[in-house]
Amino acid sequence: MADKHVLNVTEQNFEQEVLQSDVPVLLDFWASWCAPCRMIAPTIEALAGEMAGKIKVGKVNVDEQPGLAETFRVMSIPTVTLTRGDKLLMQSVGVKPKETLKKEIENKL
């Protein structure tokens, strides 16, 4: 991951990076073989930069972190979630325009 604003979230760092975060956390559930995931990746990276300080952004590889995908009941990817602590604020499935996704996030902050 080239973007310094985007974390790689794993089961090992989930509690520290997500549950104990001071700001809401946007998680992008993805897989390397998923074409729509590659389509939304630049949007997620752009939002990470634009919304730095308001939210934290992380990516969860569902093939490497099946437990996290199960915890969030991810059935299709890409799935984007916004959480605060252990509370799910928003869940979005599929590719959406950046401005649409950004509005959905801002409405939950």
**What's the confidence (pLDDT) of residue 1?**
41
Work out the percent of the chain whose per-residue pLDDT is above 70: 97
15 counts as catalytic: no
Marked catalytic residue, from 27, 37, 48, 60: 37
Q: Taking 80 as the threshold, does the pLDDT of residue 3 lie above it?
A: no
| 36-55 residue pLDDT tens | 999 999 999 999 999 999 99
Marked catalytic residue, from 34, 46, 93, 95: 34
Burial class (CB in 10 A: 0-12, 13-18, 19+), 93: middle
**What's the confidence (pLDDT) of residue 62?**
98
37 counts as catalytic: yes
| 66-107 residue pLDDT tens | 999 999 999 999 999 999 999 999 999 999 999 999 999 999
Judge whether 81 and 88 are in contact, CB under 8 Å. yes
**What tokens does 36 get?**
């729509």
Domains in the chain, ordered, with CATH?
6-103 (3.40.30.10)
| 26-38 residue pLDDT tens | 999 999 999 999 9
List of E strands, 1-109: 6-8, 25-30, 56-61, 79-84, 87-93
